[in-house]
A and B are shown apart, each in its own frame.
Chain A
Amino acid sequence: MMSSYQNKILRVNLTNGTASMEPLNTKYAKDFIGGRGLGTKMYCEEVGPNVDPLSPDNNMYLVTGPLTGTMAPSAGRYMVITRGPLTGTIACSNSGGYFGSEMKYAGYDVVVIEGKAEKPVYIWINNDKVEIRPADHIWGKEVPDTTDLLKEETDEMAKVACIGPGGENLSKIACIMNEMNRAAGRTGVGAVMGSKNLKGIVVRGTNPVHVPDGEKFMAAIQEARKALLEHPVTGTGLATYGTQILINILDQSGGLPVRNFRDSGTVEWADKTSGEFMIEHKNLVRNKGCFSCVMRCGRVTRTFKPYAGFGEGPEYEAGWGFGADCGVKDIDAICQANFRCNELGLDAISMPCTIACAMELYENGYLPNEDAGCDLRFGNASILADLVTKTAYREDIGDILAEGSYRLAEKYGHPELSMSVKKQELPAYEPRTLQGMGLNYATNNRGGCHVRGYMTAPEILGIPVKLDPAVTEGKAGVCKAFQDLTGAVDASGFCLFTTFAIGADIIANVVSAATGIEYSPDELLKAGERIWNLERLFNMACGFTSKDDTLPQRLLQEPQKNGSYKGSVNRLHEMLPEYYQLRGWDQAGVPTKDKMVELGLEDAFAQMLGAVEAASAKNN
């Protein structure tokens, strides 16, 4: 039957220099939809746990969703799945732009990258013609130059996903950039690409993407479009102010982390770093959308002396990171540091949070002057861009910043000052104010991250209903529901932001109309739950346990200093047991056999038990 899948996988082996095509496994596609789900399933089947993330054995999967390349609104996304060097968990990182849809037009649902090239290479995918080409002459170049050069050598209409010096130098916080400014940002996927000597992937596609019934599909997407365009957040808020609109909202709600979460709650100058201020200060040039987007949250921005520059962003989390988290109130310096992250291919969340951690280590006297090489006190706007550059090239202090905040703080004897979960830096929502967000951080399968169960929506924005952020009761159920829905959204190709306006019913309707497989809202959520549990099983097979489902000690013990939730801590212990129970896991957070049978994950469950047993036998 005709569907929006291309039913084809491209497999490139860089060790052997081969490229081959194979059919999509339709059973996997049905159970795991695509994107994050399908990629995780393929990774678990083909690679399994405990592979060194930076070794040739660690495959990388670039996976589109069934909606990618269709006209479903804001649904042009692809996902990179691998094992991440930052966390050691399943790594998966999502990006918009045009790259995912171009992959689809080239005829592929998935591109698998195996092995390691002897010398720097790039992959040129021109519909069904695939070449592995030398990239020695491009190695070392920053993302914009790399993108331009690769297009010049191939096709001006091609789309480029590449790494910058960050990924080449195996920074654990390196990302993969496409169309220069869109990032598969988190979990260090850029380092995995760098470890393969793979500078970039260039793709050009001219094939169609089909849907089974055009009329039915257009009716389904019209419903979604209408909801998105009429919603105050997705219709006007994001287009006008971008995600930076959240600075003032979080600040006023008392949920803004400040100076490495040391002075959290609120800060008097937060509004000078907001999306509103970026318009007033004339930083915003125009807004921009990814492929098929109707929300258009992207920012084309410029900055002024002494931090003059031009580029895109920042998103809220990066703006907060270089801003409030580093104690910096200069919007031009914040934007410029964000531009440098994009140009060098570094995660614009983990980067500033690692700098913020360094700043606290420095102020406390743990990180000595001779190592810092600059005045690393909170608030020093003038050092940000330079520290990003040094990180990408691993120069001086940059060499340890490139490892992320946990390894940095550990090196200086104070790992508790890394504001991370599973070694990945926490983004811009204070868990001592947003109790449910804290639970989501702690249980997140890829470590500290806000896009796997955005509890900020109910706890602060009142979407779909307003929940008191300070209350723990009932949060476990909501958190689970958000996580499961997000799993399905990430598998479909939809942008997560669509869920501000549309729920499982509309999403299921669109996915059904695209694939020709009928998903009820419950079945869609079940697929999301399956994805979540498969990720959990993988992590446990890699040695993660309930001990890792936690937050930095500061957030659990140190009373918050400022704002309307002054004095509070995160009460994770009040939520976690109920969360495990609702997940169908035992008290130690281990998925139960019954639940795994219900989700069709018996094999992965057996694999996990085997791996855990083998590890324990080895330790004895």
Chain B
Amino acid sequence: MAKILMVQPSKCASCRNCELACSFAHEGVFNPNKSRVHALVWERLGLGVPLMCMHCDDAPCVEVCMTGALHRDEEANGVLWDKDKCIGCKLCISACPFGNASYDSETKSVIKCDLCGGDPECVKFCPNEAIEYKEADKGMLTKKAMYAEKFKKIFEEVE
């Protein structure tokens, strides 16, 4: 079974090592603004939620992409971006329901998680195991549903 990225906000220590590791791996600098993952922090609650591209099976960014630059890659079990095919229309950014894609106008690149070729840096550097890259068995999906419920509550509160 293919691996997927899983986030567990209740474990997130809000340290943002994921952002640092991601920006360094992709950009060679430390800059959370250019990270593919963000640990969003509710300061009053002391709560962090790491979010990155969820690599949707039925991905709106892939749907909207006219050139096939954004495509589903079966081997990686994820949504990948092909720079050569990209025309920079940025529709993918509007299409993503989570805000998990952005655009770097300096390098003319879509900034989006690429799973680091199967060995995600954010996972390696998370000290609290809040981000994991694991096979999605049934047990995990149950867990996921549990956390989705928490997300739902939190977002309701915030909105």
Contacts and interface: CB of A to CB of B under 8 A. Distances in A.
Chains A and B bind each other: yes
A521 interface: no
Interface string B1-44: 00000000011011111001101100111111110000001011
A211 B28 CA distance: 9
A464 interface: no
Contact of B127 (A207, A214, A294): A294
Contact of B15 (A218, A285, A286, A289): A289
A37 B17 CA distance: 26
Q: For the side of the interface on A, what is the size category? A: 35 or more
A209 B31 contact: yes
B33 A206 contact: yes
Interface in A290-309: 290-294, 296, 298, 300
Contacts of A69: 30
Nearest to A209: B30
A210 interface: yes
**Among B11, B17, B48, which residue has the most Cβ atoms of chain A within 10 A?**
B17
A105 B28 contact: no
B127 A229 contact: yes
A71 B15 contact: no
A588 B39 CA distance: 53
B46 A300 contact: yes
Contact of B28 (A179, A207, A214, A285): A214
A490 interface: no
Interface string B41-78: 10111111000000000000000000000000000000
Given A181-B46, A218-B24, A291 B30 contact: no
Q: Is the interface of B mostly helix, strand, loop or mixed?
A: mixed
A75 B19 CA distance: 15
Nearest to A182: B43
A312 B46 contact: yes
Label chain A's interface by main secondary structure. loop
A477 interface: no
B29 A210 contact: yes
A211 B29 CA distance: 7
B128 interface: yes
B13 A293 contact: yes
Given A207-B31, A208-B30, A293 B21 contact: no
A289 B31 contact: no
A208 B20 contact: no
B30 A293 contact: no
A179 B32 CA distance: 17
B33 A105 contact: yes
Interface in A216-232: 218, 229
A344 to B, nearest CB: 16
Interface string A132-163: 00000000000010011000000000000000
B31 A71 contact: no
Nearest to B11: A286
Contacts of A296: 13, 15, 127-128
A180 B43 contact: yes
Interface string A175-212: 00001110000000000000000000000011111110
Contacts of B127: 229, 239, 289, 293-294, 296
A290 B24 CA distance: 19
Nearest to A297: B13
Contacts of A70: 20, 30
Given A180-B43, A286-B10, A208 B15 contact: no
B100 to A, nearest CB: 16
B31 A293 contact: no
A294 B15 contact: yes
B27 A208 contact: yes
A11 interface: no
Contacts of B44: 144, 148, 180
A206 B105 CA distance: 14
B29 A208 contact: yes
20 contacts: A71-B24, A144-B44, A147-B43, A205-B33, A207-B33, A210-B29, A239-B128, A285-B46, A286-B10, A286-B11, A287-B13, A287-B128, A292-B15, A292-B17, A292-B20, A293-B127, A294-B15, A296-B127, A296-B128, A298-B13
Given A105-B31, A292-B20, A294-B15, 5 more contacts: A207-B33, A289-B13, A291-B16, A292-B16, A296-B127
Interface of A: 69-71, 73, 98, 105, 144, 147-148, 179-181, 205-211, 214, 218, 229, 239, 285-294, 296, 298, 300, 312
